[in-house]
Amino acid sequence: MNRSRIVHGAGRACMAMLLTACFVSLGMGETCDPANVPLSSMQQLQGLSYDQLMAMFLKADIGNPLRGPAKGKVLVLTDRHLPRIKAKVFNTFWHGKSAQDDGYLVNRWVGGHQWLDTTHTIGNSWVDNKPAMVVEYAPGTPLFANFRDEIREIAPGLYLAILYERCPCPRIKGILGLQLITKPCK
């Protein structure tokens, strides 16, 4: 069978499902807007703009504390020079975080290595003064000494983190996504 015909047929099936979902939602008085689709995975966050991700963070409550291993991705960097390439390189090596009940947190790296630990606390976000899980690293910590993360749960087991550079003046460096590897108990 012709391979391009299979791909083309699969594309038609996906389009048909999408259009059916749109018509169904329109019939219920809703608009067919991808932003109205409930979030459940990191894949849904990838490709969203800085403004869309920031709006989700601002809309979210603190949610459940991060507990257990979580896959991580740099979703957006605000650097002027090569932000997409820098994110891709960082994502090649950094694979997320793992957190414990007592607030202990360690970064997960390629090859299953765990390195660069700290603790997270509950504090007010610098962006909107609402509660967030705050992660700050000790002076002298390789790579992360000057960084602060503010984390909120945006869907069960799915988190957004605002990444700040603390000095010389606090500024947002990017937005990270974290998804628990094991779904939380309800």
Each residue of 100-148: pLDDT tens digit?
999 999 999 999 999 999 999 999 999 999 999 999 998 899 989 999 9
Q: 151: buried, middle or exposed (CB in 10 Å: 19+, 13-18, 0-12)?
A: buried
Evaluate if residue 15 carries a pLDDT over 60. no
Largest CA distance in the chain: 61
3-class state of residue 5 by DSSP: helix
Per-residue pLDDT, 36:
59
- Beta-strand ranges (E) seen in 30-125 are 68-77, 94-99, 104-109, 114-124
The pLDDT of 7-11, averaged and rounded, is 37
Per-residue pLDDT, 80:
87
Name the pLDDT band for 182 (thresholds 50, 70, 90).
Answer: confident
pTM for this entry: 0.77
Two structure tokens written together for 84: 């997409």
Per-residue pLDDT, 31:
42
Backbone φ and ψ of 149, nearest 5° = -110, 140
